[in-house]
Structure 1
Amino acid sequence: MFNVNRFRNKVFQYVSAFTACLSILSSEMHFGWPSTALPILTDNDTHIFQISHNEASWLAVAIFPGIVVGAVVAKCFAKSCGPRKLILSTALPMLVSWLLIGFSGDKISYFVGRFLGGIGSGISFSTVPMYIGEISEPQIRGFLSSLCPVFVVFGMLFINVLCRLFSISISALIASSIPLINFVTFFWMPESPIWLLSKEESKKAKENLIVLRGQDNGLKEFERLSALNLQSTEEKTEFLQFFKAKENKKALLIALGLRSVQQLCGSTALTFYCQTIFRENDKILSPGSATIIFFCLQAVFSVFSSFIVDIFGRRPLFLVSLSCTTLTLLVLALYTFIKSYTSIDLENISILAPVTLLINVIFLSLGVRNIPLLVMSEIFNPKFKPLALSIATIYYAFLAIIITQFFRITKDAIDLSFPLFCFTGFSLVSLVLYYFFVPETNNKTLEDIQKTLQT
């Protein structure tokens, strides 16, 4: 029987998660920006200034040093400010970053804008998954946490559509509205009850839990969380206590491993350079149209994944996603190798490369792109989650720089097939490691997950 009060209280969880993810949307517009903007900036007479292909490659990754800074900021202020205030703080660097790109006419402003966008992204990725994981109940935690990667792909799609319809400057000015909307809407959302308990603000924590869960379930949840001893660890002993516990070390290895999988299967590199790849196979679709289809498929299947992740679980969905991603990478690598190094005529199947890349992004969006952030929001003890997520975000940023530059350098120096074969091998190894070492977290409480990690 439909329970109106229960539905109403779940709505608060949905709205809180949705408005928090607008921060992710804004940051991911920066991730999707290079795929359409860089070809424009490197073409002659198509923009107010031109950049070289080498400068374009560094402009693409200029966001990642900012992500490192943002992750450090999130770690330093997580305990004193709480996730809600940190999410609100992302609006300022995001707004300034887009305004710099929108109003400037020089390369330096673009690099500074990308760096500031990275700061906002670093704070977002270190904070939003934690916030959603802490406000949501286990039955819908998978869906709500999956909103993060859904907003990731919608952000990339949105900025690519804008850059197709408008100039780079106008697109950036339109994009600057998103952090403002994020601030205005999320301002009214409740703070994480777990953070409030860690600051010994029990009364406010109880009030927020009642708002998020309803009277009866909110009180039960408050009693359960109060018994977990969630008070903050002192800064000087935090690292020592974190690495002393087996479950923390295991959780961190899983988080870093999942972030590695995302990069080592080429997701960021292929996203940054997808239009360039489509240009090399442009007989069926124009590069611009193919790029929009690329991001539309990501959006559609990321949404689909968010609806089924609580039904099928994290492990089965991720294993299917990574298996098919590996297979499509192998097909794409073989096609490129045969085309470049043999005399075999592939003219009749030239559509294979762009179609395979589109199939690749479908399976990537079903699990590999979505599930790491979801699992990271679930596996860490709340006392150490700010530290753990900041470490994972910094690691992700450095790895993204290395893999993206590796892709560009090897593609230019050798051939596109070389990095694709490498991504195939990395994905295959990742598939085996995930199968043996990553546990299922679907529909489990914090206590259940911590017990699993202790074994």
Structure 2
Amino acid sequence: MFPNIFDADDGSALNEYLAVTIACILSILCGIHIGWTSPYIPKLLKSEDYPFYISNEAASYIAIFGPIGDVIGEITCMLTMDRLGRKNNFLLSAVPMLLSGILIYFSYVSPLLIYIARLMGGIGMGWIMSVLPVYVSEISRPSIRGKLGVIPVAMYTFGIVAVNLAGNYLSMYHLALVVIGICFIFLATFVGMPDSPYLLLMYDRQDGAEKSLNFFRRTRNVQRELFSLEKDVKRQISEGTHYKNLFTVYSNRKALMLMVFARIFQQLTGTTAFTMYNQELLQDSKDILEPQFGVFIISFIQVLMGFVSGNLSDRFGRIPLMVYSSASCCVCLILTGSYFTIRDFSTISLPSWFPLVLLTLFFMVFQIGIGALVAVILGEIFSASIKPKAICVVNMTFSGTVLLTTKFFQVSRDYIHISVAFYGFALFSLLGAISFKVFYPETKGKTLEEIQMSLKSDNREKSENSTIEK
């Protein structure tokens, strides 16, 4: 455990912020992993920067091995999250990231090591992205869960910014040493953190759960919350922990459907496709600003908007922000598509700064709502009995949608017209805004059990209405 300064009895949220911040060191590594291909694959393709010849096709497989590893990591986490605990899963998830850094450092021996390194990094990322929202939601008090829940998203984006900057100054081997060092810093600091009180109560470890709450709430007076959590966990576990309970229990089924569609609508804004092709999209603005610096500005703004989103969501609610965000994305996408349509099919001359401004606005409104808050709700909405399995399904849906949207953008750009992708993504953003407004429950300020009860209330209302009709 940490020094006495972190065991004070002042009731502040300091230790919750401390735990989430340290856990988010791994989010930074995920951002470095996902952004690594942008600056370093071009270096691999240059024979003077790497001792082995890497063809374009071989380089494409280096990029693909990461998402393959994601799926393996998600399945692994599903199997181990409850059995080993949230904390132990965190510590273990750093191992593939550590191995990835080591293998890249020694890849001058054989290029095969890069493929294995990307696979290991993907496994670590899938593992981390599955357990992180669970841990954050389970240690957070309801009043600040939104603020804490967006920190992983902001740190993930920061990792992407950092690796793109590092690509200008650090070799592949030097960055690998940085990754290795970050892994050891995480392991040294997170090992002293308590496990989730929810997890400890699932295994009837009341003393451990009480100590966990003492640490996170910074108070000795946790008996009332402990009693409430114990009752909540027992009720949720009574619903069953088997995979079939994800579909047979109404509240689980509804939560799964809501989060699967939330992830789909999130990616159907086109955000990942635009991230991969940002420099190309900003070519028209290169007279004002070099594309790589434009990408840096956009990514930095995303980090800031992630923190702003957390504060606003705890004040105004998750759902209003997601509705506003999706609707605003729709407007930005229509304007951007119109820019490319006018540029290519008319004689009208538009200012060259349009793409930079429009994409910056898009990523701002995206991150302030649907970009950051889907991950927050993902950690809140599922019952403790079924959470690892549900998050695995949702994350695998996320991975599949990323592949589809990226391919749709590439096909539209190469074979139809780039504006088609923007108009298509705008339509889905509008559908997302309507769906969030109509179907999604508000989770702001509610305990995790209160969220479960709100999901069940819909089923009770339907049953009562059908009884009345009879």
* Fold shared per TM-score above 0.5: yes
Q: Which amino acid aligns with 1:190?
A: P
Tell me whether 1:151 sits opposite 2:150 in the alignment.
no
Tell me whether 1:221 sits opposite 2:225 in the alignment.
yes
Q: CA deviation at 1:64?
A: 1.4
Counterpart of 1:99 in structure 2 is: 102
CA change 1:144–1:237 in 2 (3 A) is closer
Counterpart of 1:277 in structure 2 is: 281
Counterpart of 1:65 in structure 2 is: 68
Within 1, Cα distance between the matches of 2:424 and 2:62?
Answer: 24
Contact kept, 8 Å, 1:279 with 1:287, in 2: the verdict is yes
CA change 1:230–1:154 in 2 (3 A) is farther
Q: Which amino acid aligns with 2:101?
A: W
Contact kept, 8 Å, 2:245 with 2:386, in 1: the verdict is no
Q: Which amino acid aligns with 2:404?
A: I
> Secondary structure, in 3 states, of the residue corresponding to 2:315?
helix
Contact kept, 8 Å, 1:24 with 1:151, in 2: the verdict is yes
CA change 1:51–1:313 in 2 (3 A) is farther
> Secondary structure, in 3 states, of the residue corresponding to 1:126?
helix
Counterpart of 1:321 in structure 2 is: 325
Q: Deviations over 1:274-316 (max 9, x none)?
A: 1232235422111221121121111111122222221111112
Tell me whether 1:330 sits opposite 2:334 in the alignment.
yes
Q: CA deviation at 1:360?
A: 1.1
Within 2, Cα distance between the matches of 1:413 and 1:133?
Answer: 44
Within 2, Cα distance between the matches of 1:343 and 1:311?
Answer: 46
CA change 1:50–1:372 in 2 (3 A) is farther
Unaligned runs of 5+ in 1: none
Contact kept, 8 Å, 2:15 with 2:218, in 1: the verdict is no
CA change 1:287–1:203 in 2 (3 A) is same
Within 2, Cα distance between the matches of 1:339 and 1:283?
Answer: 16
Report 1:338-353 matches (<5 A). 338-340=342-344, 342-346=345-349, 348-353=350-355
Q: CA deviation at 1:207?
A: 1.6
CA change 1:129–1:387 in 2 (3 A) is same
Within 2, Cα distance between the matches of 1:101 and 1:275?
Answer: 26
CA change 1:256–1:266 in 2 (3 A) is same
Q: CA deviation at 1:221?
A: 1.1
Within 2, Cα distance between the matches of 1:234 and 1:79?
Answer: 15
Within 1, Cα distance between the matches of 2:303 and 2:29?
Answer: 15
Tell me whether 1:261 sits opposite 2:265 in the alignment.
yes
Counterpart of 1:388 in structure 2 is: 390
Counterpart of 1:187 in structure 2 is: 191
> Secondary structure, in 3 states, of the residue corresponding to 2:242?
helix
Return the match for 1:354 from 353, 356, 376. Answer: 356
> Kindly, what percent of the aligned residue pairs are identical?
30
Counterpart of 1:211 in structure 2 is: 215
Q: CA deviation at 1:175?
A: 2.8
Return the match for 2:436 from 431, 434, 437. Answer: 434
Contact kept, 8 Å, 1:90 with 1:123, in 2: the verdict is yes
Unaligned runs of 5+ in 2: 1-6, 459-470
Q: TM-score, normalised to structure 1's length?
A: 0.92
Within 1, Cα distance between the matches of 2:233 and 2:367?
Answer: 37
Counterpart of 2:369 in structure 1 is: 367
Report 1:243-254 matches (<5 A). 243-254=247-258
Q: Deviations over 1:332-389 (max 9, x none)?
A: 112122223x13243x412101221111111111112100010011111111111111
CA change 1:43–1:328 in 2 (3 A) is farther
Within 1, Cα distance between the matches of 2:373 and 2:87?
Answer: 23
Within 1, Cα distance between the matches of 2:238 and 2:168?
Answer: 50
Q: Which amino acid aligns with 2:243?
A: F
Counterpart of 1:76 in structure 2 is: 79
Contact kept, 8 Å, 1:39 with 1:276, in 2: the verdict is no
Contact kept, 8 Å, 2:281 with 2:355, in 1: the verdict is no
> Secondary structure, in 3 states, of the residue corresponding to 1:440?
coil
CA change 1:263–1:383 in 2 (3 A) is same
Tell me whether 1:10 sits opposite 2:13 in the alignment.
yes
Counterpart of 1:450 in structure 2 is: 452
Q: CA deviation at 1:264?
A: 0.8
Report 1:226-237 matches (<5 A). 226-230=230-234
> Secondary structure, in 3 states, of the residue corresponding to 2:282?
helix
Q: Which amino acid aligns with 2:445?
A: N
Within 1, Cα distance between the matches of 2:226 and 2:240?
Answer: 29
Q: Deviations over 1:398-423 (max 9, x none)?
A: 22122223323332333322222221
Q: CA deviation at 1:34?
A: 3.0
Aligned length in residues? 450
Counterpart of 2:311 in structure 1 is: 307
Within 2, Cα distance between the matches of 1:56 and 1:420?
Answer: 28
Contact kept, 8 Å, 1:87 with 1:127, in 2: the verdict is yes
Q: TM-score, normalised to structure 2's length?
A: 0.89
Within 1, Cα distance between the matches of 2:36 and 2:329?
Answer: 24
Contact kept, 8 Å, 1:97 with 1:113, in 2: the verdict is yes
Q: Which amino acid aligns with 1:31?
A: I
Contact kept, 8 Å, 1:35 with 1:275, in 2: the verdict is no
* More displaced 10-residue stretch of structure 1: 369-378 or 43-52: 43-52
Q: CA deviation at 1:231?
A: 8.2
Within 2, Cα distance between the matches of 1:177 and 1:239?
Answer: 38
CA change 1:157–1:7 in 2 (3 A) is farther
Q: CA deviation at 1:15?
A: 1.0
Counterpart of 1:409 in structure 2 is: 411
* More displaced 10-residue stretch of structure 1: 175-184 or 147-156: 175-184
Return the match for 1:421 from 404, 423, 426. Answer: 423
> Secondary structure, in 3 states, of the residue corresponding to 2:445?
coil
Contact kept, 8 Å, 1:164 with 1:288, in 2: the verdict is no
> Secondary structure, in 3 states, of the residue corresponding to 2:150?
helix
Within 1, Cα distance between the matches of 2:294 and 2:145?
Answer: 34
* More displaced 10-residue stretch of structure 1: 414-423 or 13-22: 414-423
> Secondary structure, in 3 states, of the residue corresponding to 2:246?
helix
Contact kept, 8 Å, 1:326 with 1:428, in 2: the verdict is yes
